[in-house]
Amino acid sequence: MPSHFHWVVEVDPQFGTISDIMRDLKRNSAKEIMAFLENKINYQKIFQKEAMIYRDQYKKFWMKRFDDEVIRNEKMLWKILRYIHNNPVEAGLVNRPEDYIYSSARNYILNDHSRLDVDIKIAGIEFR
């Protein structure tokens, strides 16, 4: 999605919590994206404006918070995957979930792993 992302991630506590993962993902991706947009003055002004409410930051790319939900069973996993896969359709970006190039729907429906590395076996089925 242009303004946010959804993902299903399995967390191994020995390597950190979901909060640790999100902190590192947000920190590192923000640095790379802002460096890429460094010469784009309009974007720099947006990042600076967003940081004005934070005393410890000069630029702000990501929101401070994130939402998470523990997946407790296979039924819940499929419900969440359907929601994620239909998100670009609901937003009017594509007609079918598998048409969105950054969607794991492509992995599940088309067996296309060229954009995203997705373990589709975790959902209890394997497409061939």
Transcribe the chain into DSSP letters: --S---------GGG--HHHHHHHHHHHHHHHHHHHTTT-HHHHHHHHHHHTT-TT-S---S-S--------SHHHHHHHHHHHHHHHHHTTS-SSGGGSTT-THHHHHH---SS----GGGGT----
pLDDT tens for the chain, 128 residues long, are: 667 888 888 888 998 999 999 889 888 988 888 788 777 767 667 777 766 666 666 666 777 778 888 889 888 988 999 999 999 999 999 999 999 999 999 998 898 999 888 888 776 555 44
